[in-house]
Amino acid sequence: MGFGEDDHNHGPLGENPYLIPGVSLVLLLVGIGLDYYDAGFFAGYVRLAWYGVAFLLVGWKVMKAAVLSIPSGNVFNEFLLMSIATLGAFAIGEYPEGVAVMLFYTIGELFQDAAVNRAKRSIQALLNIQATEVRVLRAGQSLVLDPKEVVLGDIMEVRPGEQVALDGTLQNTAASFNTAALTGESVPQTKQPGETVLAGMINQETLAQILVTAGFADTKLSKILAMVQDAVGRKAKTQQFITRFARVYTPIVVALATLLVLVPYFVVQDYVFREWLYRALVFLVIACPCALVISIPLGYFGGIGAASKAGILFKGSNFLDLMREINTVVLDKTGTLTQGVFAVQQVRPAAGIEPAHLLRLVGALETKSTHPIAKAVVAYVGETAVGVAVENVEEIAGHGLRGRVEGHDVLAGNARLLSKYNVAYPAEIDEVVDSIVVAAIDGQYTGYITVADSPKEDAARAVQELKADGISKLVMLSGDKDSVTQQVARQLGIDEAHGGLLPEDKARYVQQYLAEGRRVAFVGDGVNDAPVVALADVGIAMGGLGSDATIETADVVIQTDHPSKIATARRIARATHSVVWQNIWLAFIVKGVVLALGAGGLATMWEAVFADVGVALLAILNAVRIQRMKF
């Protein structure tokens, strides 16, 4: 039961961790039996040696830890409390009680290890999904390589039932992939040629050839796993408080125990040193803060594990606390609440402009953008834009693209882009509801293309659940035109929405909410969302469709891309907080009562063992409940 920030594991080593405590327990029980029947030979040095062996089997590592922690300045810790109390018990002849304290402490550690392992399973399952080998086609040969040896541009072959080792794009034919290991969703996803396939997915039906687009260290899976491993190192405020509390609490407890021995000498008539020393030793055992320093981190660890099992990655236990406290959720639209899968609806060239000419130049320019709307235009144009010379491309955030295509100056973006370059356009464009790509060639308006997106299946449910969950302010912000934004907001039941925003405009709204004293979570997926994600109290990224920059900046990553998981994350955060505080109150109340009894001479070492190890075990079992809860 590591104390404070130390991470000692003082449980027994070996194939069977229960063997040594088992031997100690047998020796203790036999010794108690011999004492009970008053066996003649079981006295003096024989009795001391018998209990001494039982004690050293389980106690020497704790005493070693107490000594080794002194050079680092960590003198007053639970190892010191346990060592003083048990050695003191031996000094006054209370051998069975001294052994019992150390034995039950060790058993408590075994329970702790089992609980931690249980909490780690869902995370470890995620860590184990990285493939260890990959089949690659090179020079007409099929080679089996370590994923780290594969280079960009290689073609992977993934057979039915095999796992995808690296991120890439599907090349040969449509294929169905099981994404449960990544997203927690059991419904397979069908990928078409040209679509992205991520490491960790499992090919289900047909031989898939995948063009590698990311090295081993750069796959979304590798980055997410690194986040999970870092998560447990970030402490919540409650954990930090307990660490600071323990550093002050322990020397106070040692001082009080010392006073409990010395002060009665001056105020009690029939003072018996042995009696008051025993009370002080009981006091020390009871005072060990095992239940606090173990169950609290374990509770948060369990919360992180339960969340990862649900496809939600908290990058630290501190964000579990913050997630519970938020009262305002600000959501991006495209890719967060909507599918981010656009399709061209209409092509409206200006008078005298051939549709093919408009599409060829705009499509070629849009090949230089990764925006979902740009991808929709490129997909619609198809082969027409392949091989067209494009140069001097400039992406203007929140506006669109500018570049030179086949000798022409081309603008493609929203109406603000044309206004920025003083290009006149028809007033009707401002009234178009759908998302729109307005084009100008050589300074002249040449037409527009409408593109439509649709809400995600669970978007409306996500809004309802967040409102029901006590979120007092729900806002949608979008760079898309305001008419589209308001239409989606009405469709989903969002009361406040703002469209036509630049990244700095989104940041301004979030800063405004923060200035009002609100606890704000921002949910986004695009590169332009990364600054706002960093600004909010809790930044949440959509991990499947989201950009790497946003995922790395975020505090919470939703792997499934389902906005309804935001409410799930809140439920997990509240459950974790509840369990942690149940353990804190359990420890303080029980220890307070038994401390008073111990100081008054009404509690023995056996009650002290319950107050210390027993409460710790109860707290551990309570923390494990998080793993069993349904969210």
**Beta strands, E only, 139-256:** 141-145, 155-158, 168-170, 175-178, 189-191, 196-197, 202-203, 208-212
Give the integer Cα–Cα distance in Å for 219 and 237. 32
Please report the DSSP string for 383-450 in residue order.
Answer: GGGTT--EEEEEEETTTEEEEEETTEEEEEE-HHHHHHTT----GGGGG--SEEEEEEETTEEEEEEE
- Cβ–Cβ < 8 Å for 523, 557: no
- Cβ–Cβ < 8 Å for 480, 333: yes
Write out the H or E segment, with its range, that includes residue 124.
helix 95-127
Please name the residues in contact with 70: beta carbons below 8 A apart, sequence gap of 6 or more: none
- Cβ–Cβ < 8 Å for 476, 497: yes
- Of 76, 82, 78, 80, the residue nearest 101 (C-alpha): 82
Burial label, 337 (beta-carbon count in 10 A; 0-12, 13-18, 19+): buried
How many CB atoms are located within 10 Å of the residue 257 CB? Answer: 25
- Cβ–Cβ < 8 Å for 281, 89: yes
Give the integer Cα–Cα distance in Å for 403 and 409. 6
Which listed residue (332, 525, 537, 612) is catalytic? 332
- Of 81, 2, 7, 579, the residue nearest 293 (C-alpha): 2
- Of 240, 331, 326, 330, the residue nearest 574 (C-alpha): 326
Assigned token pair, 237: 């405020």
Give the integer Cα–Cα distance in Å for 492 and 617. 47
Assigned token pair, 352: 């005298």
Task: Name the pairing type of β-strands 328-332 and 343-349.
Answer: unpaired
Q: Which residues of 154-191 are buried (b: 16+ CB within 10 A; e: fewer)?
A: bbbbbeeebbbbbbbebeeeebbbbbbbbbbeeebbeb
CA distances from 567 to 336, 466, 620 (A): 14, 6, 26
Task: Examine the residue annotation and report whether 332 is marked as an active-site residue of this protein.
Answer: yes
- Cβ–Cβ < 8 Å for 165, 131: yes
Give the integer Cα–Cα distance in Å for 242 and 576. 16
Give the integer Cα–Cα distance in Å for 532 and 543. 16
Phi-psi region of 474 (alpha: psi -120 to 50; beta: other; left: phi over 0): beta
- Of 498, 574, 465, 122, the residue nearest 311 (C-alpha): 122
- Of 408, 422, 398, the residue nearest 364 (C-alpha): 408
Mapped onto helix, strand or coil, the DSSP state of residue 46 is helix
Give the integer Cα–Cα distance in Å for 59 and 52. 10
Residues annotated catalytic, as ranges: 332
